[in-house]
Amino acid sequence: MNDTVDKLVIFLAKRDGIDKLVKTFQYVSKLVRWQVEATHPDVAQRFKQWEVASGLGRKAFRTGRFLTGFNALRRGPGSTPTFKILAVLANAGEMVYFFFDHFLWLSRIGTLDAKLAGRMSFISAFGESFGYIFFIIADFIIIKEGLEEERRLLTSSKEDTSKDATESLRKIRADRVMRLMAVAANVADFIIALADIEPNPFCNHAVTLGVSGLVSAWAGWYRNWPSFTMKLSQVAVQIHSSQSSKRKSFP
CA distance 170 to 172: 6
pLDDT 10s digits, 188-199 = 999 999 999 999
Of the chain, the end-to-end C-alpha distance in Å amounts to 28
With pLDDT > 70 as the criterion, what percentage of the chain qualifies?
87
CA distance 47 to 69: 33
- Residue 100 pLDDT greater than 70, yes or no: yes
pLDDT 10s digits, 206-218 = 999 999 999 999 9
Q: Compute the average pLDDT of residues 171-190.
A: 95
pLDDT band at 248 (very low <50, low <70, confident <90, very high): very low
CA distance 168 to 176: 12
| Predicted pLDDT of residue 161 | 61
Does residue 213 contact residue 193 with C-beta atoms inside 8 Å? no
Q: Compute the average pLDDT of residues 13-22.
A: 90
CA distance 197 to 129: 9
| Predicted pLDDT of residue 52 | 96
| Predicted pLDDT of residue 160 | 59
Question: What Å distances lie between residue 100 and 31, 117, 126, 128, CA to CA?
Answer: 27, 10, 10, 10
- Residue 59 pLDDT greater than 80, yes or no: yes
pLDDT 10s digits, 111-161 = 999 999 999 999 999 999 999 999 999 999 999 999 999 998 888 866 656
Least confident among 7-16, 64-73, 86-95, 242-251: 242-251
| Averaged pLDDT score across all residues of the chain | 87
- Residue 203 pLDDT greater than 90, yes or no: yes
pLDDT band at 183 (very low <50, low <70, confident <90, very high): very high
Instruction: Write down the pTM of the prediction.
Output: 0.84
pLDDT band at 1 (very low <50, low <70, confident <90, very high): low
- Residue 226 pLDDT greater than 90, yes or no: no
Chain centroid to CA 62: how far?
13
pLDDT band at 12 (very low <50, low <70, confident <90, very high): confident
Does residue 221 contact residue 20 with C-beta atoms inside 8 Å? yes
Taking alpha carbons only, the member of 227, 114, 228, 150 closest to residue 182 is: 228
